[in-house]
């Protein structure tokens, strides 16, 4: 009989990462078997209360409470060191499995790797991952091997994978892309002047990297809307009088993959003064032929189907939300700054994904199956034409960056998130807030090589 636990596990698959769950399960074994509990410490005897040995003339053991403390102190460090060694052996084994998977993938048979057999949904790896070294780094910061009651967690492993990826890609990285909300700034806010990520982004540009924000926010050809969201960052570029050559390394790709802008100096239309802003790049300059072939009427028909399903979800779950339609997107947003439960948002996402796949299957081969992305935005749900996989690939082709030279930083890497698809085209760093973005960039920037002229 299928257990209720297994049913619940399968139903929540969209909230799990199979590779992280696999590593977490491996690390749980040494935690359970070898993280020994503290030795019991005897309580001090009450005055006048003599032990049995003392009452019988002192012929017994002279074991005392201090002896227990000394035993514990003597075995504590060896236990931690031994447990660390076991964790490192496991991480090294996974590291070797990943490298074997990469070799099989280069031969065109990734399904023959041992890792693929154990984790069938495992993504591509474009660089080796030094997990053993990354675990040592994480243990120095968080004392993972010394923990007796809390085993290595999902977040521990996620951060270890980030550190390993930073170590691996630092020598070759040439393009780094970022999600916007909850990656560079808080959800629904703008880039503030005092954002601590600004000097780190400038450092990346000075190291010769192209930096791009790949966001779901879609304002067709309207640079001013993106300039408003990034106002603090652009003002900082301007106040520091960054050169045109440096600014040209910064891009914004909106609507997942539909609207590309380049940063640079330009004239303020109202005052005529020189300001740092964004310039729209026409699709013919960077979009591949298959993207340019997407027909307007086919796009609108797909969005009609998506909107119909989203509104059905709104009615079925009695959500206080309204539809928001754009030229290449449709979504539902709460009314009057209300809140929608995560489970309801995920229901809308999964239901709409399924409906659109059915629609495309029923449309037949005569109609181009336009790529789309349905994602939980934290307090809304949107369906975008295209996705960030296409967005990153477009930038890689336009800027000449290979998958092993590209890394995407984002917070939505579960299957209901819009960063998830990028795993197929580049290396990734999974963060959960702007503070973690700052942390991974502080790990990355010391490992970069800077041009002699700082440009």
Cα dist from 336 to 318, 322, 428, whole Å? 15, 10, 35
* C-beta separation of 260 from 216 below 8 A: no
Q: Which residues are catalytic?
A: 179, 181
- Same domain, residue pair 405 and 260: yes
Domain boundary among 152, 169, 186: 169
pLDDT, one tens digit per residue, over 351-372 is 999 999 999 998 777 678 899 9
- pLDDT confidence of residue 2: 43
Mean pLDDT of all residues belonging to the chain: 87
* C-beta separation of 397 from 410 below 8 A: no
- pLDDT confidence of residue 38: 55
* C-beta separation of 324 from 306 below 8 A: no
CA distance 144 to 160: 11
Instruction: Residue 412: name the closest of 248, 181, 198, 101 by CA.
Output: 181
CA distance 265 to 225: 17
Residue 452 lies in a domain: no
Residue 324, domain extent:
292-385
**CA quadruple 22, 26, 28, 32: dihedral positive or negative?**
positive
- pLDDT confidence of residue 168: 98
- Same domain, residue pair 284 and 427: yes
Domain boundary among 368, 385, 402: 385
- Same domain, residue pair 272 and 360: no
Residue 57 lies in a domain: no
Find the CATH number of the domain harbouring 300. 3.30.70
Q: What is the DSSP string of 52-106?
A: HHHHTTS-S----HHHHHHHHHHHHHHHHHHHHHHHHHHHHHHHHHHHHHHHHHH
Residue 6 lies in a domain: no
Residue 58 lies in a domain: no
pLDDT, one tens digit per residue, over 414-441 is 877 788 889 999 999 999 999 999 999 9
- Same domain, residue pair 129 and 209: no
Task: Say how many domains are in the chain.
Answer: 3
- Same domain, residue pair 363 and 407: no
- pLDDT confidence of residue 41: 52
- Same domain, residue pair 154 and 210: no
- pLDDT confidence of residue 271: 81
Find the CATH number of the domain harbouring 205. 3.40.50.1000
pLDDT, one tens digit per residue, over 242-252 is 999 999 999 99
| Tokens read off for 325 | 């339609």
Residue 273 lies in a domain: yes
CB atoms within 10 A of CB 446: 8
Element (H, E) at 244: helix 244-247
- Same domain, residue pair 316 and 427: no
Across the chain, which has 455 residues, the per-10-residue mean pLDDT values are 42 71 93 65 52 48 54 55 91 97 95 96 94 97 91 96 98 96 88 95 97 92 92 96 96 94 90 91 94 94 97 97 95 93 94 95 80 91 94 96 97 82 94 96 95 68
- Same domain, residue pair 76 and 218: no
Residue 45 lies in a domain: no
- Same domain, residue pair 283 and 409: yes
- pLDDT confidence of residue 75: 55
């Amino acid at each position: 009989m299928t257990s209720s636990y297994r049913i619940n596990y399968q139903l929540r698959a969209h909230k799990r990462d199979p590779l992280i769950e696999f590593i977490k399960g491996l690390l749980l074994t040494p935690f359970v078997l070898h993280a020994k509990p503290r030795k019991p410490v005897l309580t001090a005897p009450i005055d006048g209360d003599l032990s049995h040995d003392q009452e019988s003339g002192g012929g017994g053991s002279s074991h005392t409470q201090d002896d227990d403390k000394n035993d514990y102190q003597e075995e504590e460090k060896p236990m931690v060191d031994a447990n660390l060694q076991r964790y490192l052996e496991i991480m090294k084994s996974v590291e070797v499995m990943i490298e074997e998977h990469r070799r099989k993938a280069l031969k065109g048979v990734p399904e023959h790797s041992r890792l693929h057999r154990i984790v069938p949904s495992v993504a591509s790896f474009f660089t080796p991952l030094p997990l053993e070294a990354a675990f040592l780094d994480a243990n120095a910061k968080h004392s993972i091997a010394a923990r007796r009651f809390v085993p290595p967690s999902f977040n521990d492993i996620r951060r270890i994978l980030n550190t390993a990826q930073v170590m691996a890609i630092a020598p070759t990285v040439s393009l780094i892309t970022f999600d916007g909300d909850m990656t560079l700034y808080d959800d629904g806010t703008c880039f503030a002047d005092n954002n601590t990520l600004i000097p780190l982004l400038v450092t990346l540009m000075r190291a010769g990297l192209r930096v791009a924000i790949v966001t779901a926010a879609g304002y067709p050809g309207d640079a001013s809307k993106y300039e408003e969201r990034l106002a603090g960052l652009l003002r900082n570029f301007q106040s520091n009088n960054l050169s045109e050559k440096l600014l040209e390394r910064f891009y914004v790709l909106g609507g997942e993959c539909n609207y590309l802008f380049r940063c640079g100096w330009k004239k303020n239309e109202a005052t005529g003064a020189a300001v740092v802003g964004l310039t729209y790049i026409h699709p013919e300059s960077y979009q591949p032929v298959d993207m340019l072939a997407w027909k307007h009427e086919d796009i609108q028909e797909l969005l009609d189907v998506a909107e119909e399903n989203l509104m059905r979800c709104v009615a079925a779950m009695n959500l206080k939300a309204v539809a928001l339609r754009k030229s290449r997107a449709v979504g539902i947003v709460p009314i009057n700054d209300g809140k929608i439960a995560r489970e309801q948002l995920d229901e809308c996402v999964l239901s709409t994904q399924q409906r659109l796949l059915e629609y495309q299957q029923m449309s037949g081969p005569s109609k181009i199956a336009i790529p789309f992305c349905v994602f939980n935005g934290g307090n809304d749900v949107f369906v975008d034409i295209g996705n960030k996989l296409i967005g990153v690939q477009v930038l890689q082709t336009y800027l000449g960056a290979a998958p092993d030279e590209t890394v995407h930083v984002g917070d939505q890497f579960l299957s209901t998130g819009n960063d998830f698809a990028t795993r197929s085209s580049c290396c990734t760093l999974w963060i959960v807030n702007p503070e973690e973005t700052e942390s991974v960039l502080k790990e990355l920037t010391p490992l970069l090589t800077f041009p002699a002229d700082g440009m």
